[in-house]
Structure 1
Amino acid sequence: MVEFKLPAWYTTPMAQVILVGITCFATVGMFSAVSNLGAGGLSDITLSDTSNGVLYGCFAVTGLVSGGINNVLGPRLTLFFGTLGYALYVGSLWCYQTQQTGWFVIFAGAILGVSAALLWSAQGCIMMSYPLEKDKGKAFAIFWAIFQFGSFIGSIIALAINIEDGQLSAVSTSTYIAFVVIILVGVASSFLVLPPNRVIRSDGTIVKLEAVSKPHEEVVGMLKLLKDWRMLALVPMFFASNYFYAYQGAVNAGRFDGPTRALNATLEGAGAIVGALMIGYFVLDLKYLHRRNRGYLGLAVAAVLVIIVWAVALAWQVTFTREDVANGTANKINYHDSNYKGKGALYFFFYFSDACYQALAYWIMSALTNDPFKLARYAGLYKALQSAGSAGSFGMDAVATPYLNEHLASWLMLLASFPLAYLVVRTIKETNYQDEAVVYVDDVRRTEAEEGAAPSPYGNAHAEKTDSIEKGSTSEVAPELPAA
């Protein structure tokens, strides 16, 4: 049987990062667009909070093992299963709008929690391990910009559909139909992703010789992960990284009308795109600084943004309460109103700073190792703790916790995470190439020729050839050459 030889550009790390970005653009991006409309676009905020609480609870539990599942199944299948829950969840919102099936929204939230953990573990593995060390900040920037562009476009769709009626209390069913169609395209795109043993970096190294791991190896790997003090130090950062979404969504739903909520979601997407590109290209991959110093700079940028943006949000928050929203004392704001401009800017910078914070978390993890299997476990733990925080925050919002309490809880968690993250950044090495085995595609081809085996269609080898060609911990470090 003749094997199809893949184009060289297709097997590059950035091509795979872009593909994963497209998958998340069409799936997670559409989910984010719906969520950012406030209460998932629903008029029943309690139902939305309950569903999100269940979603993130299941996400947290599954996240503990999703990295291992990705390593056993491979990123392609893991991504595919991970995308299915998004179609089901947005479909459940559509069903609720027409049939009032609240139970289905909660059930779909649970299924999405399981599938999302799989998707994000595969995504984290690819984004953090496939690129060269010098390109990991840019890889995040590219992925996050594409992914958030999905939220941006989805929000524009919602805005265009709902713009005519300023009193809309919930998103129209046609909005959900548009989202579901786009999500199904994302499901199909997951089959384009390659496993690590078929990806070749620009310096001629293969990301990982093995395509998949073994179950018992994942159990051992997870136990080692839980004993790593650096991962324990990052727990507050992981937990806090999505905690504030419930608060921001609740205020968006309570203080703005339907079209303005859609406009805010559009501004959020724009803020996330700009923030990711800024910190990825101009901070975390700044070539004039040593890697650890880039980490310090990224930490400083994220901390300053969190302090300023949330201080501005606090100045607005103290002017109204949840009770004011409930009894109508605080009127819903329309984008035509004179007092809207500052609020729109706030939602832009909420997600600008969020992108910088998320970039820092991913960059720190990716600087600790280049091994895709380890990074898949890191990503799984990150999303598990992140989702546990989200479940708690949506639980707080579901029982009508005062807005001010939610604001302060979110802000203080973010601030508390920075000192511990600093301790981890201090341990970052200039490179991990000398400590981890590196495999060159030319060595694989040479070994295949010597053994008389038929060359692989993309110049890679099978896992059983590992021992004959791996380079150990030597001074021969993978050179970082420009992409061809």
Structure 2
Amino acid sequence: MVEFKLPAWYTTPMAQVILVGITCFATVGMFSAVSNLGAGGLSDIVLSDTSNGVLYGCFAITGLVSGGICNLLGPRLTLFIGTLGYALYVGSLWCYQTQGTGWFVIFAGAILGISAALLWSAQGAIMMSYPLEKDKGKAFAIFWAIFQFGSFIGSIIALAINIREGGLSAVSTSTYIAFLIIIFIGVASSFLVLPPNRVIRSDGTIVKLEAVSKPHEEVVGMIRLLKDWRMLALVPMFFASNYFYAYQGAVNAKRFDGPTRALNATLEGAGAIVGALMIGYFVLDIKFLHRRARGYLGLATVVILVVIVWSVGLSWQVTFTRADATEANFINYHDSDYKGKGALYFFYYFSDACYQALAYWIMSAMTNDPFTLARYAGLYKALQSAGSAGSFGMDAVSTPFLNEHLASWILMLASFPLAYLVLRTVKETNYEDERVVYVDDVHRAHAEEGHHVEKTDSIEKGSVSEIPAPPLTANA
């Protein structure tokens, strides 16, 4: 069967990573922009903490099976379903702002938790499995920069609106309208993503001959995943990777006025973009080091950043408590007291991007199989969300800021020795251990069966028989 001929550039891994980045730019990025305004843009911080706790609780539960669901449905449909929850959630915030419907915010948070798990499993599988091994750091950098650019642009929109309308304790209605328009563009963009059997790497290999897996394969795959000591060793890293968002968001909401919260969110987006590009291009994919050495360098970079940035944050945190965080004491970006605070929020997210990059890079160094990596991504987001649920619950009961700071920091520090043990097992390449299929072999198989297939035509699932992996070439 011959399908519509796709442009060669469109079937490349990086084109697909960029497309997923655009989808997340317009959906998750807008959600992040609202969340980073402090208390999710809400005037009711307890409601924000409750909805976020429900969101991440549902996210954690769904994440355990979202990788398998992605493998059964395929990345395109999984991404589409995943984007819908973001539109509903931002719409619920707008509804609360105008109608006071708090229950709707909590309900939308639960739905978003389910859909977000699906979106991030598909995203993780594409970003980690589609590129060549030598490009996986750059793939993260490109995706994360595009995705965080959504948060950056969204925050600029909010900053412009809030500054024009004066200091606000909550986000304005027009801000929500702007976010929703962009989110619906992201929903539509999810249909542009290709399945792994239609993506061809620069060395001529197909990411995966099959487009989707089978239910029994997913059950076996999950059992193997939970028995892998390396994944168990990464549990603390996964759990800690979003734990600090509740603390940073609460401090942003309690210590700064509306326009300054928007400014901090803009600086956070900029820090995440710069951090991702720096570690992706200049550390994790640096050319003259072996792959394991690149992993060690990445770990050392993240350790140094986390120690320095969170030490600076601690030096500020010890100067105030929750009792001091009142509206009368709000900090404005014009105030002398704001000096250095914006830089701290920039580097909070600079170091966050590096931490996330390292976690994704370690997983992608363990295998190249998209189905396995979808399961990895699902477990990663499940544990990450469990940590987020716990941290938002911790903040909802008014835990002292200092305790939240120390909990977030200690969790990250504790994850590093175990991450080092996993990095010690990283091989120079996984191509020698995994089945590799070249597009030329698929064409040859078609020709032997009496079919004529153009090189740019898509490879249909089940259209060829199982092909043994050919010898690796030098650039494989």
2: distance between equivalents of 1:461 and 1:186?
27
The reply to whether residue 356 of structure 1 matches residue 354 of structure 2 is yes
Match of 2:20 in 1: 20
Q: 1:115 to 1:468 in 2, by over 3 A?
A: closer
CA contact (8 A) 1:441 1:459 kept: no
1: distance between equivalents of 2:427 and 2:449?
37
2: distance between equivalents of 1:311 and 1:160?
32
Q: Which amino acid aligns with 2:192?
A: L
- For residues 309-359 of structure 1, what are the alpha-carbon distances to aligned partners after superposition, in whole Å with 9 as ceiling and x for unaligned? 000000000000011114x57x11101111213000000000000000000
Match of 2:251 in 1: 251
Q: Which amino acid aligns with 1:115?
A: S
CA contact (8 A) 2:11 2:194 kept: yes
Q: What SS is found at the alignment partner of 1:430? A: coil
CA contact (8 A) 1:4 1:457 kept: no
What is the 5 A alignment of 1:37-436?
A: 37-326=37-326, 331-436=329-434
Partner residue of 2:472 out of 470, 474, 477: 477
Q: 1:222 to 1:478 in 2, by over 3 A?
A: farther
CA contact (8 A) 1:246 1:394 kept: yes
CA contact (8 A) 2:6 2:458 kept: no
Of all paired residues, the percent bearing the same amino acid is: 84
2: distance between equivalents of 1:437 and 1:431?
13
> Please, what is the CA RMSD of the aligned residues?
1.3
Q: What SS is found at the alignment partner of 1:163? A: helix
CA contact (8 A) 1:5 1:457 kept: no
1: distance between equivalents of 2:427 and 2:456?
32
Q: 1:315 to 1:378 in 2, by over 3 A?
A: same
Q: 1:75 to 1:456 in 2, by over 3 A?
A: farther
Unaligned stretches of 5+ residues in structure 2: none
Q: What SS is found at the alignment partner of 1:471? A: coil
> Structure 1 residue 4: deviation in Å?
1.1
CA contact (8 A) 2:2 2:458 kept: no
> Structure 1 residue 479: deviation in Å?
3.9
2: distance between equivalents of 1:79 and 1:457?
27
> Structure 1 residue 480: deviation in Å?
2.9
CA contact (8 A) 2:4 2:457 kept: no
Unaligned stretches of 5+ residues in structure 1: none
- For residues 146-197 of structure 1, what are the alpha-carbon distances to aligned partners after superposition, in whole Å with 9 as ceiling and x for unaligned? 0000000000000000013553100100000000000000000000000000
Q: Which amino acid aligns with 2:355?
A: Y
2: distance between equivalents of 1:399 and 1:457?
60
1: distance between equivalents of 2:114 and 2:121?
11
CA contact (8 A) 1:444 1:459 kept: no
> Structure 1 residue 478: deviation in Å?
4.6
Q: Which amino acid aligns with 1:471?
A: A
2: distance between equivalents of 1:344 and 1:284?
28
Aligned length: 476
> Structure 1 residue 477: deviation in Å?
2.3
1: distance between equivalents of 2:238 and 2:2?
46
2: distance between equivalents of 1:48 and 1:480?
50
2: distance between equivalents of 1:307 and 1:166?
37
TM-score (norm 1): 0.96
2: distance between equivalents of 1:412 and 1:459?
52
Q: What SS is found at the alignment partner of 1:335? A: coil
CA contact (8 A) 1:60 1:383 kept: yes
TM-score (norm 2): 0.98
Q: Which amino acid aligns with 2:436?
A: V
2: distance between equivalents of 1:455 and 1:412?
56
